[in-house]
């Protein structure tokens, strides 16, 4: 009887696996169909097939799949396909395309400073987003629409024009820089305590310090309907991003970010903005330098050390802390540089919150590239 039982169990196991393998094959086929379709497009015929990446966004009840595609070598291009259950592309969209072989048109992400990503909305009419937050050699690389929901990742203050720029990603995955005046927080006029960032005026971000006792930061710089959303501590190092003068109370408010990435508004009287961490602003010396070493095909890894800072340059001279990464945080490795004087290999990485900087490779646990 034992042989019969074993055969019966084997048959049952195979029968159980068949529908699982069929579902996986269908998903892989839909991914491949989108990738093949991108490769067949006339505007992408100069792109190696290996440079086209596809990502499954999920299948609907009808068997159709939304597949995101991206070309992140040679040019910046993104979009999506709708693929039916027979692996036919029924809809195809390009949400961003910087142009072939056009280095100046590629998105530049190392300007300014990263912020904790937050949701916002386009308040102007339909407008273009550009590759760099500067009037010299900037190019249109995408478009956002009125009332479109976006995510803000970085800010940059252009002193010559007195414009604050945001690096954003739109609802169709298009990425680029936009004038901050065309953006407002999704949380405006809300009563749920979420941070409101459209009050007052942007300033060039600078370092400061809390001089009062431990105190709360609030969601809006106004006595009406404001809520506590975080806390800063005495002597805590902060960054100031915006100012607002409330005429009824004659109080000046600062929009700040603390050393633990907490963001909110605080009475300016509780801040000493004459002193910082040796420098009272994020000047050019503090910007992340991305031209050291060699580019690698981006791959996923994880921070293996305790919480630590990442720096603007992979060299002991004149380097500065620009951000923090946490233990076990998922990161993307972008470049490598070997510093011969210290025998250290450095990685240029992007963290899970969009923060970028260099880190000693000994603090990174490698994972195989996908």
Q: For 212-227, how does the pLDDT look when each residue is reduced to its tens digit (9 = 90+)? A: 888 899 988 988 888 8
Q: How confident is the model at residue 358 (pLDDT cuts 50, 70, 90)?
A: very high
3-state secondary structure of 42: helix
Helix, strand and coil in the chain, % to nearest 5: 15, 45, 40
Q: With 50 as the cut, is the pLDDT of residue 76 above it?
A: yes
Both 177 and 247 in one domain: the answer is no
pLDDT, mean of residues 291-296 = 84
Q: What is the CATH number of the domain that holds 150?
A: 2.30.30
> Quick check: is 281 in a domain?
no
> Quick check: is 246 in a domain?
yes
Last residue of one domain, picked from the residues 97, 114, 142: 97
What is the Cα–Cα distance from 52 to 196, expressed in whole angstroms? 38
3-state secondary structure of 24: helix
The two tokens of residue 73 are 């070598």
> Quick check: is 350 in a domain?
yes
Reported as a single tens digit per residue, the pLDDT across 54-65 is: 887 765 556 788
In sequence order, what are the residues at sequence separation of 6 or more whose Cβ sits closer than 8 angstroms to the Cβ of residue 2?
Answer: none
Residue 111 φ/ψ region, left for φ over 0, alpha for ψ in the -120 to 50 degree band, beta for the rest: beta
What is the Cα–Cα distance from 222 to 190, expressed in whole angstroms? 13
Hey, which residues does 333 pair with through a beta bridge? 299, 349
Q: What is the CA radius of gyration of the chain?
A: 24
Both 309 and 353 in one domain: the answer is yes
CB 89 within 8 A of CB 38: no
> Quick check: is 86 in a domain?
yes
> Quick check: is 192 in a domain?
no
Domain tally for the chain?
A: 4
**Signed CA dihedral, 304, 310, 311, 313: sign only:** positive
Reported as a single tens digit per residue, the pLDDT across 123-162 is: 888 888 998 898 788 888 888 988 888 888 888 877 777 7
Phi, psi of 20 (to 5 degrees): -65, -50
Helices (H) and strands (E) in the chain, counts: 1, 25
Q: How confident is the model at residue 254 (pLDDT cuts 50, 70, 90)?
A: very high
> Quick check: is 223 in a domain?
yes
CB 37 within 8 A of CB 81: yes
In sequence order, what are the residues at sequence separation of 6 or more whose Cβ sits closer than 8 angstroms to the Cβ of residue 172?
Answer: 80, 93, 95
Reported as a single tens digit per residue, the pLDDT across 325-355 is: 888 888 888 889 988 888 889 999 988 777 8
Both 8 and 89 in one domain: the answer is yes
What is the Cα–Cα distance from 282 to 320, expressed in whole angstroms? 10
- Looking up tokens 């979420």 gives 194
Give the range of the structural domain holding residue 351, as residue numbers without chain letter: 288-365
CB 152 within 8 A of CB 117: yes
What is the Cα–Cα distance from 251 to 254, expressed in whole angstroms? 10
- Looking up tokens 């802390």 gives 321
Both 178 and 209 in one domain: the answer is no
pLDDT at 284: 39
Last residue of one domain, picked from the residues 133, 157, 185: 185
Average pLDDT, the chain: 77
Q: With 60 as the cut, is the pLDDT of residue 10 above it?
A: no
What is the Cα–Cα distance from 222 to 220, expressed in whole angstroms? 6
The structure's pTM equals: 0.34
Give the Cα-Cα-Cα angle 312, 317, 322 (nearest 5 degrees): 20
- Looking up tokens 């503090």 gives 286
pLDDT at 278: 37
């Amino acid at each position: 009887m034992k042989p019969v039982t074993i055969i019966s169990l084997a048959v049952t196991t195979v029968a159980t696996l068949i529908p699982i393998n069929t579902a996986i094959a269908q998903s892989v086929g839909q991914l491949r169909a989108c990738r093949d379709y991108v490769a067949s497009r006339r505007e992408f015929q100069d792109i190696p097939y290996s440079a086209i990446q596809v990502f499954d966004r999920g299948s609907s009840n009808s068997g159709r799949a939304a597949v995101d595609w991206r070309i992140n070598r040679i040019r910046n291009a993104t979009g999506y396909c709708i693929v039916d259950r027979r692996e036919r592309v029924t809809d195809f969209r390009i949400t961003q395309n910087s142009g072939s072989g056009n280095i100046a048109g590629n998105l530049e992400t190392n300007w300014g400073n990263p912020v904790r990503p937050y949701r916002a909305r386009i308040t102007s009419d339909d407008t273009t987003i550009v590759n760099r937050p500067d009037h010299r050699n900037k190019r249109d690389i995408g478009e956002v629409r009125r009332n479109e929901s976006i995510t803000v990742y970085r800010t940059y203050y252009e002193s010559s024009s007195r414009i604050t720029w945001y690096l954003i990603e739109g609802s169709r995955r298009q990425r680029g820089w936009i004038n901050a005046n065309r953006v407002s927080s999704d949380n405006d006029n809300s009563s749920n305590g979420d941070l409101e960032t459209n009050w007052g005026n942007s300033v060039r971000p600078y370092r400061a310090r809390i001089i009062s006792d431990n105190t709360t930061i609030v969601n809006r710089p106004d006595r009406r309907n404001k809520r506590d959303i975080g806390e800063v501590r005495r002597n805590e190092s902060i960054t100031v991003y915006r100012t607002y003068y409330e005429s009824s109370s004659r109080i000046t408010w600062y929009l700040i970010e603390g050393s633990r990435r907490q963001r909110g508004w605080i009475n300016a009287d509780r801040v000493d903005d004459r002193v910082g961490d040796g420098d009272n602003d994020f000047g050019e010396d503090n910007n992340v330098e991305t031209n050291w070493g060699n580019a690698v095909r981006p791959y996923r890894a994880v921070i293996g050390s305790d919480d630590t800072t990442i720096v603007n340059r992979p060299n002991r001279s004149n380097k500065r802390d620009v951000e923090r990464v946490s233990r076990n945080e998922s990161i993307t490795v972008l470049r490598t540089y070997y510093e011969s004087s210290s025998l250290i290999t450095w990685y240029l990485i992007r963290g899970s919150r969009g923060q970028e900087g260099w880190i000693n490779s000994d603090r990174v646990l490698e994972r195989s590239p996908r």
